[in-house]
Amino acid sequence: MAKAAARRVLPPTIESSRELERLRTVVLPEHNDLAVAVADRIVEIIQRETSAKGRAVLGLATGSTPLGVYEELIRRHQAGDVDFSRVVTFNLDEYYPMAPDSSHSYHRYMWENFFAHVNIAKQNVHIPDGTTPRERVGEACAAYEEAIRIAGGIDFQLLGIGKTGHIGFNEPGSDAASRTRIVTLDTLTRRDAGADFFGVENVPREAITMGVATILDAKEIALMATGEHKAGIVARAVEGDISPDVAATFLQRHGSVSVYLDLAAGADLTRIKTPWVLEGGGVEWSPPVVERSVVWLAERVGKAVLKLSARDYAENHLSPLLARAGSAGPINGQVFNRLREKIRGRAKLPAHERILVFSPHPDDDVISMGGILRKLWENENQIVVAYMTSGNIAVFDHDVTRHLDFVERAAASLGLDAATVQRARSTVNTGMEQKAPGDVDIPVVQNLKKFIRESEAIAALAAVGIPPNAARFLDLPFYQTGEVRKRPLSDGDVAIVLRLFEDVRPDLVFVAGDLSDPHGTHRTCKAAIEQALAAYKAAQRPELWLYRGAWQEWSLTEADVLVPLSQDELHAKILAIFRHQSQKDTAPFPGYDEREFWQRVEARNLETAARADRLGLPEYYAMEAYVIQRL
Report whether 533 contacts 499 (CB < 8 A).
Answer: no
Euclidean distance between CA atoms 270 and 289, whole angstroms: 13
Strand order in the sheet with 561-565: 471-473, 382-387, 354-359, 508-512, 543-547, 622-629, 561-565
Of 94, 171, 239, 602, the active-site residue reads 171
Helix 67-78 and helix 31-53, axial crossing angle in degrees, nearest 10: 60
Active site residue 569: no
At 34, phi and psi to the nearest 5? -65, -45
Peptide bond before 172: cis, by omega within 30 degrees of 0? no
Euclidean distance between CA atoms 424 and 453, whole angstroms: 20
Euclidean distance between CA atoms 272 and 266, whole angstroms: 7
Taking alpha carbons only, the member of 449, 480, 485 closest to residue 583 is: 449
Strand order in the sheet with 56-60: 24-28, 257-262, 221-225, 156-159, 56-60, 87-91, 125-126
From the CB of residue 624, how many other CB atoms can be counted at a distance below 10 Å?
30
Beta-carbon contacts of 201 under 8 Å, excluding residues fewer than 6 positions away, are none
What 43-51 contacts at long range (C-beta under 8 Å, 24+ apart), as own/partner pairs, is 43/73, 43/76, 43/81, 43/82, 45/155, 45/156, 45/220, 46/82, 46/83, 46/84, 46/87, 47/82, 49/155, 50/83, 50/86, 50/87
For the chain, count helices (H), then strands (E): 20, 17
* CA 441 vs CA 203, 208, 412, 428, 437: distances in Å: 19, 29, 28, 9, 10
Q: Please list the active-site residues.
A: 171
